[in-house]
Amino acid sequence: MAPTVVLMHGFTHTGRSWDPVVAALHERYTAIAPDIRGHGDASDLQPVTLEAVIDDLDRLAPDRYTLVGYSMGGRIALHVALAHPDRVRRLILIGASPGIAVAREREARRAADERLAEEVERSTIEEFARRWAQTPVLGGQPAAVRDATHADRLRSTPTGLARALRGLGTGALPPVCDRLGELAMPVTLVAGGRDEKFATIASRMAAAIPGARVEVIGGAGHSVHLEAPDTIAGLLAAQADLTIRSSDTSR
């Protein structure tokens, strides 16, 4: 039976953003790509908190699974892996960070996220989707990726996204920088070659995680899974082969 992969999307995306990766896997995995609270079909679910999102995942996922998270979804995935190390078989993080360790900087980010949440609430989803696409870290995406991502953002609501910023934003979630050494499962940290900030973060995280690998994907930006879905599927497929061989050996 194919192993299960759970795919956690980023802020303003939905689970459907993973469709190109799922298609490229060719059934090597059973894929679960939920809409995180505040997004898509889960726009109206409350409360939008880390604890509630982890509970949602607990109900959806099997006893053992590979966990993949992008950006906001990567931060959440880190918390899930630390909370349930017995269930997460492998962890792949794309353009993700462990949070902001310095309390003063974290509070400044929380205040910035609150201002952005208020801006979202004053906007239509179309207006905010176009504004968010101009975020510098998302620059340089191919036109087809930009168009698909814009359509995906329109599946959410301003109110839901504002709640997600307040409950799941970088300023809201506690940092796990000092807990990275607890991750005992295989960890792969992925960043795009054009995303220097998160490539640096990935290298720093890898130094704190036993046996972690860093994969920098040349030519890609922050959203590697959108720009290079075949590459991400390839990483997952290779790990599926490792999992299957390991299971065969144990019999």
The pLDDT confidence band at residue 1, using thresholds 50, 70 and 90, is: confident
Looking at residue 240, its pLDDT comes to 57
In the chain, the DSSP E strands lie at 4-8, 30-32, 65-70, 88-94, 187-192, 213-217
Expressed as residue numbers, the domain containing 83 is 4-250
The pLDDT confidence band at residue 2, using thresholds 50, 70 and 90, is: confident
Q: What is the pLDDT of residues 184-224, one digit of tens each?
A: 999 999 999 999 999 999 999 999 999 999 999 999 999 99
Number of domains in the chain: 1
Q: Using CA atoms, how far apart are residues 113 and 172, in angstroms rounded to an integer?
A: 9
- Assign 163 to helix, strand or coil: helix
DSSP string computed for 80-141? HHHH-TTTEEEEEEES------SHHHHHHHHHHHHHHHHHHHTS-HHHHHHHHTT-GGGTT-
Q: Using CA atoms, how far apart are residues 66 and 6, in angstroms rounded to an integer?
A: 6
In one letter, which amino acid is 24? A
DSSP classification of residue 42: G
The pLDDT confidence band at residue 245, using thresholds 50, 70 and 90, is: very low
Is the CB of residue 173 less than 8 Å from the CB of residue 99? yes
Q: Using CA atoms, how far apart are residues 11 and 250, in angstroms rounded to an integer?
A: 39
The pLDDT confidence band at residue 95, using thresholds 50, 70 and 90, is: very high
- Ranges 17-21, 117-121, 141-145: which has the least confidence: 141-145
Computed over every residue of the chain, the mean pLDDT equals 93
Domain CATH for 78:
3.40.50.1820
- The encoded tokens of residue 184 equal 């005992």
- Ranges 124-133, 169-178, 198-207, 240-249: which has the least confidence: 240-249
Q: What is the pLDDT of residues 225-236, one digit of tens each?
A: 999 999 999 999
Does pTM top 0.75 for this prediction?
yes
The pLDDT confidence band at residue 239, using thresholds 50, 70 and 90, is: low
DSSP classification of residue 49: -
Number of helices and strands (H, E) in the chain?
10, 6
The pLDDT confidence band at residue 15, using thresholds 50, 70 and 90, is: very high
Q: What is the pLDDT of residues 49-82, one digit of tens each?
A: 999 999 999 999 999 999 999 999 999 999 999 9
Q: Using CA atoms, how far apart are residues 21 and 226, in angstroms rounded to an integer?
A: 8
Is the CB of residue 30 less than 8 Å from the CB of residue 89? no
Looking at residue 249, its pLDDT comes to 33
Mean pLDDT along residues 143-163: 97
